[in-house]
Amino acid sequence: MIELRSDTFTVATAEMRKAMAEAKVGDDVYGEDPTVNLLQQKVAKVFGKEKSLFVPTGTMGNLLAVLSVCDRGDEIITESNMHIFKYEVANIAALASVQIHPLSGVDGKIPLDYIKNAIREDNIHFPKTKMIALENTHNMAGGKVLDKPYIDAVAKLAKKNSLHLHIDGARIFNAQVSLGIPMHKLVENVDSVMVCLSKGLGAPVGSMLVGNDELIAKALKYRKMLGGGMRQWGHSAAAGLMALKEGPENLLKDHQHCKMIGESLSIQPWIKSVDYSTNICRFVVEKEISNKLIRYMEDNKVKIQRTGNFFRIVTHLNITKNDVEKVIKVINDFSKA
Ligand SMILES: *Cc1c(COP(=O)(O)O)cnc(C)c1O
């Protein structure tokens, strides 16, 4: 099967499994796992921030940022198609007692004046706005990159209003390699970032929350509260270290593969719209052929994600150029079938 539903389907290479088996470990709840400590130091350095914290999932990393910054009844501003708002089981409402104020965006970017107008003034009727959260790359916008000038403009607005700027950077390395600027530059005006090691970078598990000393100290305590205090998980951190070192340089190849598939889709007669950027391609087809398409792809050993008439293809580490050529052939054959 050629697995294109998500970049979370990558499996660890033999070298990664070896590194995991041989990792030096200790009890991380006691702060004594050397491999976890090394990973946390390295990630903080790459992002140019004081500290980072290894967390089981991106969902927990985002929640920890909110818990560490907000009090009950506060509000955070997000774009309305963000993962935090749509796909994290309303954890911010249920567990942090914080309200999300979603605003519509274009290609993942919320217009600055929308943000400005949404920041609450001091009034007995209003919650207090505490945070602005962006997503880079933006999954639902089809892997769109938020560029540095936009992030900096939002950061300036956040600073002026004493707000925390968080980035859900599950795929921020995809943004960084396509912009071609160092990570610490890209996020220099951002207060916290969550990044997944378990997506395009290729680790089997784990995400990081990056920020200053104070934020990470709070997040560490909340991680324990949520049951995320892990023991000898230097075994997982060893995979994370390898993903951090070798993952980013592979992403441009994924982007090239995604572009090839996106271009081939865009010329098919049954396509209504197609949008692709970095490693994510989203497309809509005529309603009548949705079922037929998914079945045809499966019959030809290609797995793609479908929600209604919306389809998603994600390229990743385990997809080769040969796979991409096969996929394009299946797409072309479907038009003839
Ligand atoms: C996958 C993802 C997350 C959450 O990561 P999990 O490890 O699956 O909890 C958060 N944000 C975005 C944009 C994602 O794609």
If you write DSSP's letter for every residue of 88-121 in order, what string do you get?
Answer: STTHHHHTT--EEEEE--BTTBPPHHHHHHHSPP
The structure tokens listed for 154 are 């939002």
Residue 288 lies in domain: 249-336
For residue 59, report the distance from its CA to the centre of ligand 1, in Å. Answer: 6
Cβ–ligand 1 contact at 139 (below 6 Å): yes
Are residue 77 and residue 170 in the same domain, yes or no? Answer: yes
* Mean pLDDT confidence for 82-105: 98
- Bridge partners of residue 54, in order along the sequence: 208
- pLDDT in the model for residue 211: 98
* Alpha helix positions (H), 119-233: 148-160, 172-179, 183-186, 213-225
- pLDDT in the model for residue 117: 98
For residue 214, report the distance from its CA to the centre of ligand 1, in Å. Answer: 24
Torsion of CA 121, 127, 131, 134, to 10 degrees: -100
Report how far apart the first and last C-alpha atoms of the chain are (Å, whole number). 21
Contact partners, residue 162, CB within 8 Å, separation at least 6: none
- As a residue count, the chain comes to 337
**Residue finishing a domain among 211, 227, 246:** 246
Are residue 161 and residue 27 in the same domain, yes or no? Answer: yes
Q: What's the pTM?
A: 0.97
Are residue 239 and residue 292 in the same domain, yes or no? Answer: no
Are residue 268 and residue 156 in the same domain, yes or no? Answer: no
Residue 6 lies in a domain: no
User: What is the chain's mean pLDDT, rounded?
Assistant: 97
Q: Which helix (H) or strand (E) holds 60?
A: helix 58-69
Strands 280-285 and 192-196: unpaired
Widest pairwise Cα distance in the chain: 64
Residue 3 lies in a domain: no
Residue 5 lies in a domain: no
Identify the residue whose C-alpha is closest to ligand 1 atom 4.
58
The structure tokens listed for 195 are 């990044």
**Residue finishing a domain among 246, 263, 286:** 246
- Bridge partners of residue 51, in order along the sequence: 211
Total count of domains within the chain? 2
* Alpha helix positions (H), 180-307: 183-186, 213-225, 234-266, 290-299
Q: Which helix (H) or strand (E) holds 332?
A: helix 321-336
Are residue 204 and residue 293 in the same domain, yes or no? Answer: no
For residue 267, report the distance from its CA to the centre of ligand 1, in Å. Answer: 31
Are residue 314 and residue 180 in the same domain, yes or no? Answer: no
- pLDDT in the model for residue 309: 82
Cβ–ligand 1 contact at 83 (below 6 Å): yes
**Residue finishing a domain among 197, 213, 246:** 246
Confidence band of 50 (pLDDT split at 50, 70, 90): very high
Query: Peptide bond before 320: cis, by omega within 30 degrees of 0?
Result: no
Contact partners, residue 53, CB within 8 Å, separation at least 6: 40, 61, 64, 208, 209, 210, 216, 219, 220, 223
Are residue 94 and residue 225 in the same domain, yes or no? Answer: yes
Cβ–ligand 1 contact at 207 (below 6 Å): yes
Top mutation candidate among 8, 10, 78, 139 for ligand 1, by most atoms within 8 Å of CB: 139
Are residue 270 and residue 185 in the same domain, yes or no? Answer: no
Residue 295 lies in a domain: yes
Are residue 188 and residue 295 in the same domain, yes or no? Answer: no
Are residue 143 and residue 280 in the same domain, yes or no? Answer: no
C-alpha count within 13 angstroms, C-beta hemisphere, residue 266: 10
Identify the residue whose C-alpha is closest to ligand 1 atom 14.
170
For residue 177, report the distance from its CA to the centre of ligand 1, in Å. Answer: 19
Which ligand 1 atom lies nearest to the CA of residue 59? 9
Convert the pLDDT of each residue in 253-299 to its tens digit.
999 999 999 999 999 999 999 999 999 999 999 888 999 999 999 99
Are residue 133 and residue 185 in the same domain, yes or no? Answer: yes
Residue 4 lies in a domain: no
Are residue 272 and residue 126 in the same domain, yes or no? Answer: no
CATH number at residue 254: 3.90.1150.10
Strands 280-285 and 302-303: unpaired
Convert the pLDDT of each residue in 190-229 to its tens digit.
999 999 999 999 999 999 999 999 999 999 999 999 999 9
- pLDDT in the model for residue 288: 87
CATH number at residue 224: 3.40.640.10
